[in-house]
């Protein structure tokens, strides 16, 4: 392995700057900020209404209540941010022949791909931090309440989960950027994957369940439950809200007085949450790691000519 970390940081800095000022990324970031502010504002007003009539919904923390709606918004927009940061990461360099120019200098392939990964991941981290800060800031501003150490710890875990969820789709985008030759094709593939695994996954499973029911007399629910594990959205939804899905048609879930409603449910300790959802957490950690490793190894063997 010939990676020069200092040179990788220079490439990461360039990737970070290029992506930050991309019109597509800026448009998506602006939409995300407005959407998060809007849903948080609505959730806070709803919480105040429940408080006035003496029926504050679970969780009893008004600060954490706002993050349930933010989880829904991040289910939709988080993957898009990851895709926007990676869908043409290698394609644009290949098309401009800058990869060939780079490789004529003492810069190795692993340094290039590591730098591009670092730049995209760091920018994704900044976006997730900004999103969390906007949601939390809106809640504090409207409610005027203080945030306890316990609430901050839950928000910190929620932030990590949201970052990992978006990182899965950044990894998918990076893999597509290496395998696919055209940026338009890569974007289409990524959008289809996003719609399939996140937004429409619940509808797809319902359709599959109704289709299999006449053929398979028993075990249809077991089949659909097993297929749920294919969706990053399912794992993120369970970890953050306790529901099995947050996409369109996601009616299933564990909302109820006796069930755990994810990391934001302060009726249960972090240890209880970890015991309940540890498998989801493992998947959410391993999936982006495997995708980034796949992209790394594939780039080392890829023909970088246009």
DSSP per-residue string spanning 168-192:
HHHHHHHHHHHH-S-HHHHHHHHHH
CA distance to 29, 59, 74, 163, 178, per residue, from 82 (Å): 11, 30, 11, 9, 15
Which residues lie below 8 Å from residue 7, measured CB to CB, with a gap of 6+? Answer: 107, 111, 115
Do residues 143 and 137 lie in contact, with contact meaning Cβ atoms separated by under 8 Å?
no
CA 299 to mean position of chain CA atoms: 23
- In whole angstroms, what is the distance from residue 29 CA to residue 204 CA? 29
Q: Where are the alpha helices (DSSP H) in the chain?
A: 5-20, 23-52, 62-84, 91-95, 98-103, 109-143, 149-179, 183-194, 201-212, 220-228, 232-241, 270-300
pLDDT of residue 59: 46
Which stretches of the chain drop beneath a pLDDT of 70?
A: 1-3, 50-60, 96-107, 207-225, 245, 247-258, 303-306
User: What letter does residue 196 receive in the DSSP assignment?
Assistant: I
Predicted TM-score (pTM) of this structure: 0.87
């Amino acid at each position: 392995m010939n990676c020069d970390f200092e040179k990788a940081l220079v490439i990461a800095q360039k990737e970070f700057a290029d992506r930050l000022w991309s019109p597509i990324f800026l448009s998506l970031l602006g939409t995300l900020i407005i959407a998060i502010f809007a849903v948080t504002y609505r959730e806070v007003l709803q919480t105040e209404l429940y408080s006035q009539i003496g029926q504050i919904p679970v969780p009893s923390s008004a600060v954490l209540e706002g993050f349930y709606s933010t989880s829904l918004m991040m289910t939709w927009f988080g993957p898009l941010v990851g895709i926007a940061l990676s869908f043409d990461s290698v394609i644009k360099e290949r098309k401009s022949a800058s990869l060939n120019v780079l490789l004529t200098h003492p810069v190795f392939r692993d340094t290039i791909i590591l730098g591009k990964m670092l730049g995209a991941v760091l920018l994704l981290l900044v976006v997730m931090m900004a999103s969390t800060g906007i949601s939390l800031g809106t809640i504090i501003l409207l409610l005027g309440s203080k945030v306890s150490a316990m609430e901050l710890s839950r928000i910190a875990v929620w932030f990590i989960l949201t970052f990992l969820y978006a990182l899965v789709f950044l990894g998918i985008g990076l893999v597509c950027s290496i395998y696919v030759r055209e940026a338009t094709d890569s974007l289409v593939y990524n959008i289809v994957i996003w719609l399939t695994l996140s937004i429409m996954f619940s509808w797809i499973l319902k359709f599959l369940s109704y289709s299999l029911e006449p053929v398979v007399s028993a075990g249809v629910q077991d089949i659909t439950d097993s297929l749920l594990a294919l969706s990053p959205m399912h794992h993120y939804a369970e970890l953050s809200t306790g529901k099995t899905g947050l996409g369109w048609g996601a009616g299933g879930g564990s909302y109820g007085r006796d069930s755990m409603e994810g990391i934001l449910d302060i009726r249960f300790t972090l240890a209880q949450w970890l015991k309940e959802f540890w498998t989801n957490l493992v998947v959410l950690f391993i999936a982006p790691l495997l995708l980034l490793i796949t992209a790394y190894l594939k780039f080392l063997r890829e023909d970088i000519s246009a």
